Structure 1
């Protein structure tokens, strides 16, 4: 997914970026050298947390991809592409596929879901 960096800052000696994307805005941990403000970068998303059905992943009322910050959490609405019994799910977020780890099977097998994440890490794809 392409993002435009709107700010960079250190928090507890960890580089963060605020960004704007075609599906919304948020702040994330940054996994590379500091980007320039205004720079447009193709990134991939990484979640360091495990998701639980009806706790931090649940059915979404929205039917389109979105990303936003709310009460210190990153809220992502994405389309569930595939979930397996081994604890992994693939989600379509805009034009990107993101993978998440689950602590158990999902009740929902398709459609849009909403994730609430404490943090995401962005890595430039260098494409």
Structure 2
């Protein structure tokens, strides 16, 4: 299956998403902050990134935009996770380069479907 980096400042969310992805036979690397995200992506070479939007410091929208504007990372699909279900957030995520979007709380099936679509 795929190698996925999961970025979320909530340890509980990291553990939940990791359990969903491991149950689907993905390799998972967790990252609690966007501070050294580029370094971790270079080291891990993931197939996809699952990233929370609301985080301290650089938020998920900003990190997504930064990654998509960097030739080293622009081809890596990103699925954003947010607690806001507004269409404007989904649209804004797409404008930043996100390949998918799920609204918390989500079921494993919803996340796995978003990942499947993003990896196509």
TM bucket (normalised to shorter chain) is under 0.3
Q: Which has the higher contact order (CA 8 A, sep 6+)?
A: 1
Whichever of the two has the greater Rg, that structure is 1
More strand by share: 1
TM-score (norm 2): 0.27
TM-score (norm 1): 0.26
